[in-house]
Amino acid sequence: MGKQLRTELMTINMGPQHPSTHGVIRFIIKTDGEVIHECQPDVGYLHRSIEKISEKVNWQGFVPFTDRVDYLASMNANWAYCFAVERMLGTEVPRRAEFLRVMVGELNRISSHLIAIGATAMDLGGFTPFIQLLREREYINDLLEMACGARLTYNYISIGGVNYDVPRNWTEKVGEFLEHFELAMEQMNRLISYNRIFINRMANLAVIPREMAIQYNLVGPNLRGSGVKFDLRRDHPYSVYPELDFEVPVGVGIEGQVGDCYDRYHVRMMEIRESINILRQCIKMMPPGEIQGKVKNVIKPPEGTIHVRTETPRGDTGYLIQSDGKTSAYRLKIRTGSFTAMSVIPAVAPGLFIADLIALIGSLDVVAPELDR
Residues 38/350, Cβ–Cβ less than 8 Å: yes
Average pLDDT, the chain: 91
* 173: confidence class by pLDDT, cuts 50, 70, 90: very high
Domains of the chain: total = 1
**SS3 (DSSP) at 334:** strand
Q: pLDDT tens digit string along 207-222? A: 999 999 999 999 999 9
CA–chain centroid gap for 363, Å, is 12
Alpha-carbon distance of 218 to 234, in angstroms, equals 17
pLDDT at 126: 84
User: What DSSP state is assigned to residue 73?
Assistant: S
The reported pLDDT for the residue numbered 256 is 86
**Residue 329 forms part of a structural domain:** yes
Spatial separation of the C-alpha atoms in residues 325 and 60, rounded to whole Å: 15
Domain of 356 in residue numbering reads as 10-372
Residue 113, domain member (yes or no):
yes
Q: Nearest-5° angle of CA 166, CA 276, CA 107?
A: 45
133-156 pLDDT, tens digit per residue, is 999 999 999 999 999 999 989 999
In a domain, 293, yes or no: yes
DSSP designation for 33: T
Taking the model in full, what pTM does it have? 0.93
Report yes or no on 5 lying in a domain.
no
In a domain, residue 271? The reply is: yes
The answer to whether position 127 is within a domain reads yes
Give the C-alpha separation, 355 to 227, whole Å.
Answer: 25
Res 2: pLDDT: 58
Does residue 2 sit within a domain?
A: no
Residue 371: band (very low, low, confident or very high) from pLDDT cuts 50, 70, 90: confident
Is the model's pLDDT at 373 over the cut of 80? Answer: no
| 3 inside domain | no
Contact yes or no for 244/282 (Cβ under 8 A): yes
Q: What is the CATH number of the domain that holds 306?
A: 1.10.645.10
